[in-house]
Structure 1
Amino acid sequence: MKDRAVKMMKSMLLLLILLAVVSGRRTHLLKGLPATSTVEENSAAGVSVYTFNVTVSPLSSEGVAILPTIVNSNPLTEAFDIESIGDLEYRVVTTGNPVLDYETMPKSFDLLIFVEDTTGRTDLNTLTIQVTDKNERPVFQGNMAIQTVMIYVLEGTPPEHIYQVDAADPENAELKYSLLPAPVPFLVLESGAIFSTKEFDYEKDPHCYFLNITVTDPDGLSSTRTVNVNIININDERPYFTTKQRFYRIPEEQSPGTVVANITAKDPDDEDSPSRLFYSIQSSDRYFSINPSTGVLQVTGRIDRDALPLRLHPNISLIVRVEDSPSGGHASETEITIIIDDINDNPPECNPSTFRKEANENTTAGMFLLDLNYCKDIDVDSTNNQFNFTGLSGFGSNNFALESTVSGRLVMTESIDLENPANLGIEVYSLTVRVQDIACPNYSNMIYIYIRIKPVNEFFPVFSNLSYEFNVPEIIKVGSSIGRVNARDKDWPPSVITYSIVAGGGTRDYTNIFWISPTKGDVKILARLDYETTQKHILTVQASDQEKTTTASVTVNVLEVNDEEPVCSPNFYSLQIPVSLAVGTNINGFRIQCQDRDSDPRSFRYFINEGNMNNHFTFSPSAGSNTSQLILASRFDYETSLDKNWIYRLHVYITDDNLLPARDKITHLIKTGTVTLSIRVIPNPTTVITTTPGFTVVTKRENLYSESAWYVPFVITLGSLLLLGLLGYLGFLLAMWVNTRCPPAGKADGVSLINAPGMYLFSIFNTSQQDLVYDSV
C-alpha cells in the first residue's frame, strides 16, 4: 500500500512539473544540478551521495513550498532519497531499500528532482548516480544462506560424505573452504564437501557437533556459517540388568499380588532417558508373573509348600528376560531363584478321625482301649508338623484318660457297671479329643470317640411269683388267654426275656393244651378243657434271657360248668291212645329216663315245647328226677270241635336247670336234651270195652337246690352268660319275625312261652286241614 501511495505522489508531482513547464513558469532553483555522482555498492542506508542547494526568489518570504523531491528515476528505484541538511541545503542519500548491488543491479540511476518555492516557481533537474564496484564477501547459498543447517548421522555409519556446502563470490572469484574447530572427526574439501572421518558410537561419542564452515575469497574476505551435526542413536546395544540380587525368600500361601522382587534393567541406547524395556518370564511358571513395563515380580497363584512338586523342590528358578523392543530388538536374560519357606498353615489330619470301640462292663481299670495316633501334619518343616493330644472331654470322660499328650493312647480309668444307678442307661460314651499343633497359630482338629459298654449277662431272670394259679371254666373258648406270667432281669439294659412251657399241659388226647406267648408271657388255651376228664393241669414255665434260664410252676384249675346235655332214652317213640283215655293215665306206660354227666339226677325239668295242642299231655314228675312218665292231662273233645288233630307230634325238652336259681338260668348255663313222641288218638271203637279206671299221682318237684352248695356261684355265673345269649337270640328272632310278618302257607305258627320258676314251657301249634287229612290217612 505504501509503494502505491509513493508512486501516486510521484505521478502527481510529475504532473505538476509538466503543468509548470507548460505554463512557462519554470526557473533554475536547483544549484549544482544537473550533475553526476558515484556511490559504492552495498552502501548502508543514509550514506550521502550528492549535496545541492535550492535558491528561492526574494519575493518568496516563506522559502520552499515543495521540498526537493525525486519524482522519478531511471531505472525506477527507491534506493535513494533527499533529506534537508539546513539553509536550503539538501543531499541525496541511500535508503538501503534495496541495498545497491553492483553485480545484480543497474550500474547507473538517473534521478529526476523537482522543487517549487512559495511564489510558484519550479525547477526540475537530473542527478545521475553511478554505482561503483566493491570487493564483497563470499555468500552462502541454499539453506546455509538463511539458517543453520542440521545434519543427522546414524551411529555406526562408516566415514562418508555428509553434506555439500554451496557458496558464491559476488566477483566470481575462486573460493576456499575451511572448518573449525579443527579437532573434530569431520573435514571439508575445497569443493565444499563435508565428510565424516570416523564411525560414531552414540553411547561413547558426543551426540552433537557444531562445525563452523568458512568460505574465503582471494582477497581474504570470508563468510562463516554453522553446520550442526547430530549423531542419531540406533538400537545397537543390549539392555543389562541393574538388579544384582539373584535369590529371594518368601513364605508360602502369599496372596495374589504380593510383590516378590523389583527387577530393573537399563539400555545403553537410552542413556539417561527413561528406558522403554519389556520384561517377561521365559520359564513356564504358574506361581509368578512380571509386569512387562515395570519389572515388578508378583505372586499370581497359590503357593503351597506342602504339596507336590514344591514339597520336593521348594526352590523356584525363573529365567527373566528384558528386551528393548517387543520384537526384533536386543535382549538379555538372567536367572533368579525364589526360595519358598514353610509356614504352619495346616492342622493335623487324622484318618480315621472317628473311632468306635466296645468294652465289656466291669472291664478292669487301666485297660488299654484305643490308639488314636493315626494323625499327620502335612507341613514340611518339622517345627510345623508336631502336635499333641489334649482336651479329652465328653459325658463320662472321667472314666477314661490319655496316657500322655504325645502317645494318643486311650485307657480306661474306672470300671463301669451298667447296673449301677450312677451309670444306668448309659451304654455309649461320646468323647472328643483335640489334636493340636505345637507351633503357632496352633491349628487343631477333633477326634470323635464312641465307646459302647457291652452289657454282660450277670443275672438270672426272676419271676414275679414263685408259682402261679389260674382258675379257668371248662367252657372257655379255645384261643382265650387265661393268665400271664412275668419275669424280670436285673441286667442293664434289660434283657429280652422269652417264655416257654417246658413241662405239663398235656392229656391223653392232646399233647399240648396250653400255649404261652414267648414275648409277653400270656398263657392261652389251645384245646377245649373238660372238667369231667381233668380237673387240674400243672405246667412248668421257663423264662430265658438267651443265656440264663429259670422256671416257675403254673397251676390251672378247671372249673366245672354245665356243658353236658341231658341224654334221654328213648329219644323217639310212637304211641296210640284211645280218645276216651282217662285223665291222669300214664300213656302206654311210657317212661323216659335221662342222665347228664355234669348234673345231679334232681336237676332235670321236662316240658313239651311243640305239638301239645290244648295241653292234653304232661310229664310226671315234671322236675326233680331223672325219670318221668307221660300223663294225659286233659280229655279230648272232638264233638265240640275243640280238638281237630288226631295225631300229635310232641317235642319234649329236658333241661338240667332245676337246681339253678332263676338268675343262673338267665346266663344260659343250661343244656337241653330233646325227645320226639308221635301220639295217635284212636276214635271210639265199635265194640265197647269196659276198663277199670286207674289213678295216677302227678308229682312236681322243682328247684331242689341248696344255696350253700358249691355249685351255686358257678351256676349263677353260668346262668348270667346264658341269659345274655338268650336275649341276643330273642332279638334275632324278633328281627326275623319283622321281616317275614306271616309264615308261608302250609307251615305251623308257633309262639314260645318261657315259664317262670315252677311253671311249664310249652308251645301251641296250629295244623292245617291238609295236615290233618294226611295224618288221618
Structure 2
Amino acid sequence: MPNRFELQILVYDTAGAKDLQILTIQVLDENEPPVFQGNIANQTVVIYILEGTPSGPIYKVNVNDPEKATSTEIMYSLTPESLPFNISTTGTIYSLKEFDYEKDPSSYTLSITARDSLGLSTSRIVMVSIINTNDERPYFTMEKRAFSILEESTPGSVVTANITVEDPDGAGFIHSRRFSINNPQAFPNFAIDPVSGTVLVAKQIDRDASDFREGLNISLILRVVDSPDGTRSDTAEIVISIEDVNDSPPECTRYNYRLTIAESESPGSVFLNLKNFCEDIDAESPNNLFNFTGLSGVGSSKFSQDPPGSGEIKLIGNVDLENGTLEEYTLNIVVQDIAPPYYAKNIYIYIKIQPVNEFEPVFSSSSYVFNVSETTAGGSLIGYVNAADKDIPSTGITYSIMAGGGTKDITEIFWIDPTKGNVKIVAKLDYDETETPMYFTVQASDNEGGTAVASVTVNVLPANDEPPICSPNSYLLEVPVDQAVGTNIAGFAIECTDLDSSPRSFRYSINSGNVNNHFTFSPSAGSNVSRLLLAFPFDYEGGLDRIWEYRLLIFVTDDNLPTTNIQTGTVTLTIQVIPNPTTVVPTTPGITIVTRRENVYSAQAWYVPFIISLGVLLLLGLLGYLIFLLAKYIRTHCPPKPKADKKPLIKKPEKKKPKKEVVWELTNINTVFDGEARDPVTGKWYEYNSKSGARRWKDTNMPSKLEAKAPVVHVGTPAKTSDSRQENLSKTEGKTSGGNQGESKQKTPKPSEKKTEVSDLNSHQQKPKQEGALSKGSSPKV
C-alpha cells in the first residue's frame, strides 16, 4: 500500500471565507522476520530417503519475507553442520552422500534457519529418515551338511530342521526370504518348506526300489533368495543318506493253495515247494532272509515239511477215502523273517479252493489339495478323500489322519469321517496367524490290516475380515468462520491401519452431519492418511448456514478384496465454527460502526419450545393441586358456626323420682341491673336485669335494698302472698326460661319440697357447680 498520504483540509465560514492547509502522513516501515510456507510452517516435516539413493536435493524450503518489496535477501543455514546435509541459498536441502542403512544412522534431525538481511530469523525442524532396502545377499550359516533318514518315512517327515540363513538387511526382510531345491524334478521324494527352509519327505522312499537300491546317498542343492527377482541368493549342498530297514515281510505270490490230490497218491511225494513262490525284497542281508515254520492244521498228520524250514510239503500218510480219511484238509504254514522285527505271514493250503485277501486299499490320488477361505466356519466340509479295495467281497475301509494337521493353538484342526472320508475343519483358520499351506497324511485301512496313505495339502485363502482402525477415532476441532476454502482444518489428519488390507485400499467418506457439504477429505482414497479440508465457505450472513457445531460420522472402508467382503471403520468428529468477534472499525471522527453477530433460532432446535410448553403445563397443574390442598385444609380446620341445638340435653325426670332440678337460662342483653335477690344456697346477694335476666354478684360492701326492708324466707311450698320479691322472682324465671347463657342444678332435700336455686353468671365470671354457680354457654336443666 502507499507509504505517504497528503490530505488537503479546507475550512470556510458562512460568509464565504476559505482557507486551505495540507497535512502529510508518512507510514514508516518496520522489519518483520521471514515466514515459512507450506507444511513446515506448522509441523515437523519428515523426509524419507531410500538407502543407496545418490546424493542430491531432497527437499525445497519455501520462505516468504514480508519485506520482499524492499528486495531483502533471505539467507539459509542448517545445523548441526556435522551432518551429511547442506542447504543452498535458494532453500534447497541436499544430501552429501549415499546412505547405507546397515552402516549409517537411520534418522537425522536438522534445524533450518531463514534470516533476512536485517538479522531477523525463523527456524523449523526437518527430520530425515533412511529407509532400509533389500540390497544385501543372504547366506547359509549351518554347520552340519550331512543327514540321514530311514526308508519308508511318511510324507511330511522332517529330514532336517536346522537350516539357518543370515541376511545383513536385518529382520525386516526375513518374511520375504524363500527356500527351494535347485533341481526338484530330479528328487521328487523331497521337498522344502519355502518359508522355514525345513527339508521334508514329499513321497514315501522305498530303499528297496530300483532307483535307490544301489545309491545310498542323495545330494541336494538348497537355494535361498530374499527378493522376487532372485538376484540376491545363496546355495548350499546337503547330503541325505537312506538307511535300509527290515520294512518288508516275505512276499509270496500265493498264500492260499488249493490242491487236488488223488487218493491213490503214494506217501513221500512232494506236491508243493513254497520257496518257489516267496521272496523278501529288502535290499540288504539279513533283512532279506526268511524261512518257514512247522506245518499245522487239520490233516497235519498226513503231511509234513521236509526238510524242516525248507518250504517243501510232502505227503506222508494214506489219503485213501475208503480207509476213512477226511475229504478235506486245511494246512497252515508261516513264512517269517529271520531278522527283527520278524515279519511273518501265514500260508494256507486247502484241499478245496478258499478265497484270500490279496489286496490293500488304494487311494484315487496319492495327494489331495484343498483351498479353504479363512472365513469358513468351524465344522465346515472342505473336501473328501476316497480309497478303494479290490478285494471281493470288500472288507470295508476306515479312514484316519496319521500325521500333521495342527496349528500352534490346536493340535488337531482337521477331522475326517472314518467311513466316508469327508474332511472338515474343527475351527476357523486365520490366514494372518496360520502357516499356509498346511500338510497332513491320511490313511485308509481295511479290516485285515491292509493300509494305504495319501498326502493332503490345505491352502488357507485370505479374506477381508478385519475392519480399518483409525487414530484418532474421535476428535474436537475448531474452525474460524472465515476459513479459506481448501485449507487443512486445524492441521487435522486421520491415520488408519488394517491387518489384512493394503494402505492404498482405504476410501474415506462423510456419512452424516456434513450440512451444506462444507467438509471433505483429501485424499479421499488410495492412502492410509487423509486430511480434513474445507470444501465450501460458510455463509451465515446470507442465511445459508444456521448451525455452529457440526457432528461428522466418517466411514473408512477397505476395498482390496471383492466387494462382498468390504469392512468399514468409523471416526466421529465434532467441529465448532468460531464466529468473528465484535470488531470496531474507525471511520470519520465522531462516528463508530459496531458490527455484532448474534445466534438466531434454528429450526433444528424444535425441542426448545416443546420443553418450555411442557414446563408451563406442569407448573399450572402443580398450582391447581396446591389450591385444592389449601381448600381442603380450610374446610377441615375452620368449620362453619354451629347452629343452636334445640333438643333437650336430658330427659324429663320420671314422676317416681323424688328429686327435681330447677334450671335458669340467662341472656345478657344489657348491663343495667334493676333488681336484687339473695342466693338461697350461699346466702349472698346478687343483682339481675329484669328484662334480660342477666345476674352478677353484688359487692359485699354495699347494703342490699331488700335487706333493709325485710328478710326473704324460702319455704318448700310458696305462700299465697303478693310479695313483690316473689313476683319479681317469678317474672325473672319466666323471662330466663328460653336463655342459653348458663346452667345451675341443685338436688332438693325432700321430695315434697321445692327449692329454688339461683346462680348468678355474667359474661366474665364462673363459679364451681358445688357452689351453685351457672357456667356461660351451658343449658338450664329441670
TM-score scaled by structure 1? 0.36
Q: Could you say which structure has the larger radius of gyration?
A: 1
Return the TM-score normalized by structure 2: 0.36
